[in-house]
């Protein structure tokens, strides 16, 4: 099977409304992705493992979001880029919602349901809410920073690649009371204390990243863009280890103006 045949098959599964046969095919493709027989060229090999660490739900949702980009890569010509991004985001969200409802990983009102079923709402950031679920934290990730689900799903894959000690597993999807699309993840709880921004900067630069803008805690390599790495998103453990629990992480494309050289391809290869 070549790249075109693969995406045509994925879009047929979507167009047919996720029939039982279609769902079985999606599961088979996810298994091939996880085993390495299906290579998603959007990612490096390490990043594909980071995507796999997000769980089968994450893998399938990443494929479904990529299907929208494949079919609509020329859509929106003649309108502003932001409007096109919004339309793509809506299409991707609708595809993932339809699938998630079929397989039972959709939550109708996350603001109401999660506190009742999982635990206390304990923190909130710019695009995420955090719930206490014992040794795990449950987070709802919105699209405010990313617009398109595919980019928010990339964020999970890349976080898991860079920071496996605090890896995120996608457990479902839903909408808030105000109808905003959310990705729902769990993540290990890390007990620790405050760390200075200077110590964070030193740690991230030891990983090979260059400090780009200290005012918004932005770092980059030609491959990866990291931002929002302030002292509320990084924890220092009792043993003196640094744990990044949250950040804005993206494939570093030239449009981010941070020396990026990557492209956002959806090409796949079978081996």
pLDDT at 115: 82
157, two tokens: 């894959």
Positions in the chain short of pLDDT 70: 69-80, 119, 125-127
Q: Which residue has the tokens 């457990």?
A: 171
pLDDT at 30: 98
pLDDT tens column, 190-212: 888 889 999 999 999 999 999 99
Whether 135 is in a domain gets the answer: yes
Whether 269 is in a domain gets the answer: no
Residue 75: which domain range?
A: 1-189
115, two tokens: 């506190």
Domain boundary among 138, 155, 189: 189
pLDDT at 76: 37
CB 162 within 8 A of CB 152: no
Which parts of the chain fold into alpha helices (H)? Answer: 3-15, 20-35, 45-53, 56-71, 81-103, 110-117, 149-162, 197-206
Whether 268 is in a domain gets the answer: no
pTM for the complete prediction?
0.92
Domain boundary among 134, 163, 189: 189
Residue 91 CA to residue 262 CA, distance in Å, equals: 24
Closest CA to 147 of 223, 91, 195: 91
Residue 172 CA to residue 31 CA, distance in Å, equals: 18
Domain boundary among 189, 205, 226: 189
Whether 261 is in a domain gets the answer: no
Cα angle 157-160-165, degrees, rounded to a multiple of 5: 170
Residues 60 and 139 in one domain: yes
Residues 182 and 247 in one domain: no
CB 140 within 8 A of CB 129: yes
Cα angle 61-63-64, degrees, rounded to a multiple of 5: 65
Residue 127 makes CB contacts below 8 A (sequence gap 6+) with 141, 142, 143, 144, 145, 146
Residues 79 and 176 in one domain: yes
Whether 262 is in a domain gets the answer: no
Residues 215 and 158 in one domain: no
Give the count of domains, the chain. 2
Residues 128 and 176 in one domain: yes
Residue 222's Cβ-side half-sphere holds a number of Cα atoms within 13 Å equal to 2
The helix/strand/coil state of 179 is coil
pLDDT tens column, 118-175: 767 777 766 678 887 777 889 999 998 899 999 999 999 999 999 999 999 999 999 9
What spatial distance separates the first Cα and last Cα of the chain, rounded to whole Å?
Answer: 10
């Amino acid at each position: 099977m070549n790249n075109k045949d693969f995406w045509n098959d994925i879009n047929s599964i979507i167009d047919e409304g996720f029939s039982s046969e279609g769902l079985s095919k999606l599961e088979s493709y996810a298994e091939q992705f996880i085993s390495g027989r299906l290579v998603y060229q959007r990612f490096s090999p390490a990043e594909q493992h980071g995507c796999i660490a997000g769980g089968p739900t994450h893998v399938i949702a990443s494929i479904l979001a990529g299907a929208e980009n494949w079919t609509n890569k020329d859509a929106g010509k003649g309108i502003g880029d932001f409007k096109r991004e919004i339309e793509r985001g809506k299409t991707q969200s609708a595809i993932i919602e339809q699938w998630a409802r079929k397989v039972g990983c959709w939550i109708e009102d996350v603001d109401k349901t999660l506190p009742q079923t999982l635990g206390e709402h304990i923190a909130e950031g710019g695009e995420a809410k955090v719930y206490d679920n014992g040794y795990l934290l449950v987070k709802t990730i919105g699209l405010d920073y990313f617009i398109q689900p595919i980019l928010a799903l990339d964020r999970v894959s890349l976080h898991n690649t860079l920071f496996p000690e605090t890896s995120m597993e996608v457990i479902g999807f839903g909408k808030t009371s105000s109808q905003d699309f959310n990705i729902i993840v769990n993540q290990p709880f890390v007990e620790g204390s405050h760390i200075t921004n200077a110590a964070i900067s030193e740690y991230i630069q030891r990983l090979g990243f260059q400090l780009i803008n200290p005012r918004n805690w932005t770092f980059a390599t030609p491959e990866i863009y990291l931002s929002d790495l302030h002292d509320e998103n990084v924890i220092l453990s009792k043993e003196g280890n640094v744990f990044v629990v949250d950040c804005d992480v993206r494939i570093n494309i030239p449009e981010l103006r941070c020396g990026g050289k990557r492209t956002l391809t959806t090409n796949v290869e079978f081996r």
